[in-house]
A and B are shown apart, each in its own frame.
Chain A
C-alpha cells in the first residue's frame, strides 16, 4: 500500500529565511508526487507535482520541491519565506484506481507552516 509521511506537525521560520517542509513516501513503482496548500477555511490549492524528469520541480508562488529516489523523499522548499506563506501544507502520492487514468490521492497528515515577521 502506498503511504506518505510528513514528520513535522509544525514548522516555524522567520520571514526572509529559507523554508523546508519534509515529506517521505512509500509506493511500489514510480511515484506521482504532489504538494498542496490549504489556507484557513479554504480548499486545497495545487502547488506542484513530480511525475518524471528533472528531480527539481518548480511550482506556484516561488515554491519548489526536490525528488530524491534513494531517500524516497519529496521535500518542499522556498528560498525566502513570506508571512503570507503561513498555511497548512500537504504532501500527496497518486495511485491509479481505474482502467482509465483516474487517480486517488493519498495525503500525509499535513504540516502547519508559520512564517514569523
Chain B
C-alpha cells in the first residue's frame, strides 16, 4: 500500500493562476479530507468527502473547490490563486468508523 499520495510536492503560482492539487489513496477509505497548514499553526480543514459524489465545506473553504468522482481520488482546485493561499496542503483519509486519519506527505504551495 502506498497509503495517501499527493502531487505535486512543491509549486509556485502567480496571483490569479489556477491549479489542481492531486490526492489519491489506495486503502479504500470512504472519507477524505483536505487541510492547510500555515507556519507555526495547526492544520485547518478546507473540504471533506464522505464518499464518491459527496463533498462538503470545512472550516476554511473560500477560494477552493473539490470533487470526488471516485473513492480513490480527491483533487483540490484553486481557481484564482491569492498570496493568502500560500501554505502547505495535506490530504488525509480514514475508513468509516475508525476515527483515525492517515495523511499524505503534503504539497507546499507558494503564491507570488
Give A97's nearest chain B residue, CB to CB.
B48
A100 to B58 CA separation, bound complex (whole angstroms): 15
Which of A49, A104, A105, A108 is the most central at the interface, judged by chain B CB atoms within 10 Å of its CB?
Answer: A105
Residues of B within 8 A of A105 (CB): 33, 35, 43, 45, 92, 101
In A43-79, which residues have CB < 8 Å from any B CB?
43-46, 49, 51
Binding site secondary structure of chain A: strand
Contacts A32-B99, A51-B99 given; does A102 touch B50 at CB 8 Å: yes
Question: Count the B residues whose beta carbon is within 8 Å of the partner chain — how many?
Answer: 27
Question: By the criterion CB–CB under 8 Å, are B42 and A107 in contact?
Answer: yes
- Residues of chain A within 8 A (CB-CB) of B48 are 97-98, 102, 104
Which A positions have Cβ atoms within 8 angstroms of B? 4, 32, 34, 36, 41-46, 49, 51, 90, 92, 94, 97-98, 100-110
Pairs across A and B, CB under 8 Å, 24 listed: A32-B99, A34-B100, A36-B103, A43-B104, A45-B103, A46-B100, A46-B102, A49-B100, A90-B42, A97-B58, A100-B96, A101-B31, A101-B96, A102-B31, A103-B99, A104-B33, A104-B45, A104-B59, A105-B45, A105-B101, A106-B42, A109-B40, A110-B41, A110-B42
